[in-house]
Structure 1
Amino acid sequence: MQSKLLRGTFILTFGTILSKVLGLIYVIPFFQIVGREGTVLYQFSYVPYTIFISIATAGVPLAVSKFISKYNALEEYAVGRKLFKSGLAIMLATGFVAFLIMYLAAPTLAEMSIDGEKANLSDVTTVMRAVSFALIVVPFMSLIRGYFQGHQSMGPSALSQVVEQIVRIVFVLLGAYVVLHMFHRKMVTAVSVATFAAFIGAIGGLLVLFWYWYKRKPHLDELLQHDKGTMDVSLKEIYKEIFIYAFPFVLVGIANPLFQAIDQFTFSRAMAEIGIKSKVAESFFSILNFESHKIVIIPVSLATAFSLTLVPSITKSFVEGHRDNLTNQLNQTFQVLLFLTLPASIGLSLLAEPVYTVFYQHDAIGTEVLRAYAPVAILFSLYSVTAAILQGINEQRFTVLSLLIGLLIKLALNIPLIKLMETRGAVLATTLGYSAAIIINIIVIKIYSRYQFRFVWRRSLLIAIFAGLMWIGTELTYKGLLLFLSPASKMQAVVIILVSAMAGAGIYFYFGLKSSLIRRLFGDKVDRIMVKLKIPGRKKSVEN
């Protein structure tokens, strides 16, 4: 049973990561098809959509799976089926309501987003309305995923996520290309097709789930035959429990889109007030909120996914009152997060010019924004993990407080800082907002779990020293390569990134191995990998 659970968790994690990677990589060909003008329109529609979809679905699969797992363990299978039947109707209804709200509010959202001509407002409205159709399907689909996960069946969720993403990306790229280069239609039409792809992708994911339902229904019906029937849980109690499970995940899920929304609704106006034209401001906004953000999220997704696997054990130790275990697990979580995110952020900032060229095009402004934005990845990761830890120690109510304070700081400082520093001002406002939210989360963790951060501060210093040595080695390698390679060429930029990253990673992992820090964080797997690769090394004990 344990091996089945671990296998299922691995399948779901792998499916989620693969889906995220596909969702990041497609921007390279998409930018080549639609250019900056297209990504500006695309981004204006996706921030409101992400907020709507996060509110509607964030936490739903996990909340439903926890609920169904709980009652299945009690052999009260009918309670889970009751949730499933009523939930499908409710999610379909709420999805349709969310679609109507976004569709009807699109002109207002467009007007709030840009300070432009009527034609621009019309284009943004059209694109927003095109993406809103996905809201009808995605909440409905998320409930089915949660139902399968509650039966310890992770394959349907994993495969449907991957199929959804593949179908969406194929439709985005083919649709935009055909509209622009074969039918020679306007950019707004191409981007509308690209955003409507979210609906087509959701249909693809839903068909996978329907197929699994058809295959698994006889088994699920058989479980109902063994139902004890001793509990009659009302729908009110069911949805109260679901809400309690899902609410913290909704907050974490919408944090980043809300910060982006503040930029969307203030950026163009702030830039206009310092004399920058609307078209230029919109290009800068696309560089910040779409192009750079897509790259910065890469290390965040991987590091956060790895760190969050440790959170369930944190919950167990806290509930059972095992303080030593809790301390060790928190130490491990923060160290793994910093060990993975810090060098990735530094490397991304250092290699901003060739990275931006490979993903999009050679652009001085894009390079400057990415270089400033890359270190914020550390804060994105820390916020997600500290918020998850708050849930683990049953203090998720403080997530609301920290997020609100972070958003208020962002909102208060965004316009003044943009006027002072242009695009980098928006990055700084995000940095300050996230920093405040993280500090609050850390204080709450310290008070309520009685966790002492002294060890993590010391280990963070060690990681920072290794990252500093990596930075020096990468910088020297990078400068040397620039003597005969140009970051303005895509092929040469790829070579610069690969060689510089290998040099930096080699230095970083060398010191990690010599100090035994890697072994402490990742266990015996490191030794097995070293044996296979025939890398010499000896075990050392490091302070825990």
Structure 2
Amino acid sequence: MTKSQNYLKGAAVLGVAGIIVKILGAVYRIPLSNIIKDEGIGYYQTAYPIYVLLLTLSTAGIPVAIAKLVSEKRALGDYRNAHKVFKVSLVGLVVLGILTSLTVAVGAEMIVESIGNPNAYYALLALAPALLFVPIMAAFRGFFQGSQTMFPTALSQVLEQLFRVATGLGLTVLLLDKGLPIAAGGASFGGSMGAIIGAVTIIIIYLKRRSSIKDEIATTIISKEYPVKSIIKDLLLIAVPITIGSAIAPIMNTVDAALVFRRLQDIGYTSKTANDLYGQLTGMAQTLVNLPQVFSIAISMSLVPAISTASARKARDELGSLISSGIRMTLLIGLPAALGMFVLAKPIIALLYFNNEPSVIASTGDILTYLSLGVIFLTLVQALTAIIQGLGKPIIPVRNLFFGALAKITLTYILTGIPAINVKGAAISTVTAYAVAATLDFYYVIKTANAGIDLKKILLKPLMSSLGMAAVVKLGYMAMSSIMPDKLATVGAVGLGVVVYGVLLIVTGTITREDLAMFSKGGRIADKLGRFLKSEKQ
């Protein structure tokens, strides 16, 4: 197998694992929200951004740094120092894991009280073990990825998420009669159990391969000593910029949590009501907004190497084609998802979160109406970030997202403090944050890539198809809900939307013969559709 074939196989393995993990994570929130409802989700969601932030600070860029240094040493045949990089990293990550885990174990009560949601104590405390085991897992994942062996990472990711979902839901049900704060703690402990299982899995794989790793190390012929100080320095040079970029979103979410609670209480809401509204925002509506990312992330993963290659070869036409294709395919997902959720916000919430009170469903539907438009900009940010990274400018998306974060914090403070807007102000600020970042990213790509982009093709045609679909879906739902139950009407309207959108993509020429030819068996589909499909040359 050639190196390129090995790379593509590894990318495919990680890609499939990533999609499975994302789907499990998104689906997990729906039954969880029906069990502990908006109040319990509020406690859970208060703890989660803090956990993600601490995890990001301790591990975000280190697996990438380990993989890079390990792969560089292995390319030189220096297997001894490649393994030394792993060992030094493992020790460092264990220390970081112990420190962050102890910080949460000892300071959980103080942290949640400072945010203004003391009942989130158990939800945060239950995540302390995960802060130890995830960094350990990160070290092994970095080593295997640097060795171009992706299966251990993929398997540990899938098992981690499976046990997180099973344990979290199981404990939530068992602890429900102990009260919602403790039940939310049970849901959080799913994350810790998943981390433990993931870490144990990848350690077992490493131990089983240890003899072959030792044999490989023994083949090292020339091995100049790689000092520990140099390893740490090189790791930090790679990891710190990545960590800074990765930390912006969790920092934004953590600050947002504190602001939302404080501002809602400033305008007269009780701590419990503020928590309920926050649960509706982040645990229920936000979950649905995150679903389309499963597909946009897959697109982004494939864009980086393709853009990098075209940029390195200075192939301007190819670069322009890749950029246009990446943006267009992202909008083909983001636009219909956003507009579909916009016109069916309340029916979708009623369908998925059926076990909640009508007032909660109505409130969450209002939130989703505002938040749904963020899907367009969130998916665009992912694609444009991948494009800019492929152009060799990874700090630009970080800077642009930082400006978006500043806009979000400012608007959250102002809008959430207006009684008539309340928690919907946080939803509006989230949409604005990603709109700012997407706009700045798009401007940079247009200005820097110097590649002709056809706005009619990548934006106007997908927008026309999506608007047409949204109008038909809204009218279809209104007609069906008058003759059948609302839930059945919602399912019917969604199905109608899928069919109508597909037809409109063909009628408007948004999808062409060339597009279908890119997919497996796409040529056969194009032949069957025959005269209905247009060609890019037409």
Asked whether the two chains share a fold, i.e. TM above 0.5, the reply is: yes
Aligned to 2:417: 419
Deviation at 1:536, TM superposition (A): 4.8
Deviation at 1:21, TM superposition (A): 0.8
Mark the CA change 1:419 to 1:530 in structure 2 (over 3 Å): closer, same or farther.
farther
Trace 1:111-510 onto structure 2 (pairs within 5 A): 111-114=113-116, 121=118, 123-180=119-176, 184-247=177-240, 249-361=242-354, 362=358, 363-420=361-418, 421-452=421-452, 454-456=453-455, 458-487=457-486, 493=487, 495-510=488-503
Aligned to 1:32: 34
Deviation at 1:518, TM superposition (A): 5.0
Give the 3-state SS of the residue equivalent to 2:417 in structure 1. helix
Is 1:528 the counterpart of 2:514 in the alignment? no
CA distance in 2, matches of 1:390, 1:239: 28
Give the 3-state SS of the residue equivalent to 2:369 in structure 1. helix
Q: Could you tell which deviates more after superposition, 130-139 or 233-242? A: 233-242
Deviation at 1:439, TM superposition (A): 2.6
Mark the CA change 1:496 to 1:46 in structure 2 (over 3 Å): closer, same or farther.
same
Structure 2: tracts of 5 or more residues without a match: none
Deviation at 1:469, TM superposition (A): 1.3
Say if 1:51 and 1:257, in contact at 8 Å, map to a contact too: yes
Q: Residue type of the partner of 1:422? A: N
Aligned to 2:92: 90
Q: Could you tell which deviates more after superposition, 360-369 or 52-61? A: 52-61
Task: Using structure 1 for the length normalisation, give the TM-score.
Answer: 0.90
Deviation at 1:385, TM superposition (A): 2.6
Is 1:79 the counterpart of 2:73 in the alignment? no
Give the 3-state SS of the residue equivalent to 1:275 in structure 2. coil
Mark the CA change 1:518 to 1:20 in structure 2 (over 3 Å): closer, same or farther.
farther
CA distance in 2, matches of 1:533, 1:255: 47
Question: Please, what is the CA RMSD of the aligned residues?
Answer: 2.5
Say if 1:171 and 1:197, in contact at 8 Å, map to a contact too: yes
Mark the CA change 1:324 to 1:532 in structure 2 (over 3 Å): closer, same or farther.
closer
Q: Residue type of the partner of 2:522? A: R
**Which runs of 4 or more aligned residues in structure 1 lie more than 6 Å from their structure 2 counterparts after TM superposition?**
none
Say if 1:259 and 1:430, in contact at 8 Å, map to a contact too: no
Aligned to 1:490: none
Q: Residue type of the partner of 1:86? A: V
CA distance in 2, matches of 1:532, 1:464: 23
Say if 2:42 and 2:276, in contact at 8 Å, map to a contact too: yes
CA distance in 1, matches of 2:61, 2:475: 45
- Residue identity (%): 25
Q: Give the paired residue count.
A: 528
Deviations 1:149-187 (A, max 9, x none): 22222111111111111111111111121122xxx3232
Aligned to 1:101: 103
Say if 2:164 and 2:190, in contact at 8 Å, map to a contact too: yes
Deviations 1:260-289 (A, max 9, x none): 223211112212232233322221111111
Is 1:48 the counterpart of 2:50 in the alignment? yes
CA distance in 2, matches of 1:456, 1:238: 47
Give the 3-state SS of the residue equivalent to 1:354 in structure 2. helix
Mark the CA change 1:524 to 1:431 in structure 2 (over 3 Å): closer, same or farther.
closer
Q: Residue type of the partner of 1:398? A: I
Structure 1: tracts of 5 or more residues without a match: 115-119, 488-492
Is 1:511 the counterpart of 2:531 in the alignment? no
Deviation at 1:521, TM superposition (A): 4.1
Give the 3-state SS of the residue equivalent to 1:310 in structure 2. helix
